Structure 1
């Protein structure tokens, strides 16, 4: 898979309602075991890369270089494992922040019948959903705030997006 970052950024924005006022999603990113983080989108055009990548590898270029300077502070091995199994129970270091897994569940996609793996990560008052679709693709969805309504709505959007990915063959 060789994704084009701009196209994937637009797909993230569209499917996760990042252009809408009051969206429960603050930022989102797509990750593959093969390419690392390859697309990110923030609400209202905000630069989402700082939420998901550390250092200069994310700045400006839109794509970090695997093994580059920015990857050293991130737990890339654990991130790759996200795409193979569950989020590590010890948590993940993403953009210098340690996120702890709060819950994990398997959800059956109603359209394709494939299993989607869903994990809720927490860091202080921040919440992030991680959904693993097939073929080593994960979506990271940072919730705007920690209200139950936003967490639930962001979960639905994340699952809808990954259902879309599964329908596209990812």
Structure 2
């Protein structure tokens, strides 16, 4: 299945509860080493692109932004020195490997921080990553966003990614 922005945007929105009041997720993106960012969504009606792209997006052309680093992330664990996304250097706080309960496939999960902001990065397979920006830094939101991110990536594994 090839990524389609509208379809995957809605899948992200649904799985990460972005339309629910009080969602722990502020914005999310799905990234493929082949396609780049193929879905980016914000909570409610908010545009999620500014959280993940420092280069202005005109709605038609795809302009590379941190693509080399993001492709590397999708091939291996988030580098310990961090990752620059949309002009922000995110530092890796933790990394773990989790087995998907349904397929037994390994999911790599990393918690990145920029000051008091937190983001989960989950690598479902080589070449596919999900970025989940947590709303605030409360322990409950960070934990709940982690669960939602893992649920979405289990969905990706079930889809063959």
TM norm structure 2: 0.96
Pairing of 1:7-18 with structure 2 (within 5 A): 7-18=7-18
- Structure 2 match to 1:148: 139
Query: Gaps (5+ residues) in structure 1?
Result: none
Paired with 2:49 and 2:2, the residues of 1 have a C-alpha distance of 19
How many residue pairs match? The answer is 161
Q: Is 1:137 matched up with 2:128?
A: yes
Pairing of 1:91-170 with structure 2 (within 5 A): 91-170=82-161
- Structure 2 match to 1:46: 46
Paired with 1:104 and 1:147, the residues of 2 have a C-alpha distance of 19
Give yes or no for contact 1:102–1:119 (8 Å, CA) kept in 2. yes
Paired with 1:103 and 1:135, the residues of 2 have a C-alpha distance of 19
Give yes or no for contact 2:76–2:126 (8 Å, CA) kept in 1. no
Shift of 1:78: 1.8
Paired with 2:58 and 2:94, the residues of 1 have a C-alpha distance of 31
Give yes or no for contact 1:143–1:154 (8 Å, CA) kept in 2. yes
What value does the CA root-mean-square deviation take over the aligned residues?
1.2
Pairing of 1:31-70 with structure 2 (within 5 A): 31-56=31-56, 58-61=57-60, 65=62, 68=63
Paired with 2:74 and 2:133, the residues of 1 have a C-alpha distance of 18
Shift of 1:28: 0.2
Q: Deviations over 1:70-117 (max 9, x none)?
A: 52xx3x222111111110111111011110000000000001110000
Shift of 1:136: 1.2
Shift of 1:59: 4.0
Q: Which moved more, 1:2-11 or 1:143-152?
A: 2-11
Query: Once superposed, which parts of structure 1, at least 4 consecutive aligned residues long, lie more than 2 Å away?
Result: 58-61
